[in-house]
Amino acid sequence: MPIYYSPKMMDELAGGMREGYGAKVVGLSAALSALDALPHHIMAQCRRTVLKKAANIVARAARSHAPKGETGDFKKSIGSRIKTYQGGDYAMVIIGSRRGARWGYRSRISHLIESGWRITVGGRQARDRKTAKGRLRQAENTGRTVGVRAGWHPMEKAFGQTQGAVRETIIRGIAQTIAALPPAPAGGGVPSWVRDAAAGGFVQSGSEDILSD
């Protein structure tokens, strides 16, 4: 159940993201094990809900770190979306600058906002070209570099400062879902260890990686 935050919210996720970062959260394995033990429809709905809440936390933080510019449109364009695969068995959250007619060019400059750019003079204009196999070959800059504009790193900063809040939001959401389930009938329903783990706040020892790229 990975969370990705990306400078560019890509539509073609199946083909991979050229620009992005895999987010890693620790301390969730007990909660996710309990979530996987729930009936599929409950698990899928709970997962989508907690991931959306967690994504909103990161997106708000990213907007706070993004430059306002003349219009503030880039800051407003940062949002999130959820993608599910294989009948809901897998889910992914993408956080970044949204694409589409409403947002125009904003997503096209997001990698510059995140990582900065070189300032060059002279040379000739060059464009990225595709090879015979359809792969993108990036053009080399032929000018002379005279300076560097450092990036603002809104995505990197946002996830760095919200890991704790993201973890707490996911754990709390899963625990609340389990607590709201009706009592299990004899010989069926949700395993008792799932309810016990939720009641205990999914306390676990050690530091474990759960959401990873």
Q: Which candidate, 10, 91, 30, places its Cα nearest to that of 55?
A: 91
Q: Which candidate, 136, 147, 140, places its Cα nearest to that of 123?
A: 140
CA 121-116-74 angle, 5° bins: 115
Specify the DSSP element, H or E, that contains 6.
strand 3-8
d(CA 194, CA 30): 9
**Cα separations in angstroms, 191 against 58, 173, 175, 185:** 33, 18, 14, 11
- pLDDT tens digits along 57-115: 999 999 999 998 888 888 988 998 888 887 777 888 888 888 776 766 777 788 888 88
Residue 23 · residue 167 · CB < 8 Å: no
> Can you tell me whether residue 153 is helix, strand or coil?
coil
pLDDT for 13 equals 31
- Pick 162 or 188 by higher pLDDT: 162
Q: Which two tokens stand for residue 47?
A: 């997962």
Binned at pLDDT 50, 70 and 90, residue 128 comes out as: low
- pLDDT tens digits along 6-64: 433 333 332 333 344 555 677 788 888 899 899 989 999 999 999 999 999 999 999 99
DSSP annotation of 14 reads G
- H helices present in the chain, as ranges: 29-36, 40-65, 73-77, 110-115, 154-179, 192-199
Q: Which two tokens stand for residue 56?
A: 């909103």
- Pick 206 or 199 by higher pLDDT: 199
Average pLDDT of the segment spanning 133-161 = 80
pTM reported for the whole predicted model: 0.77
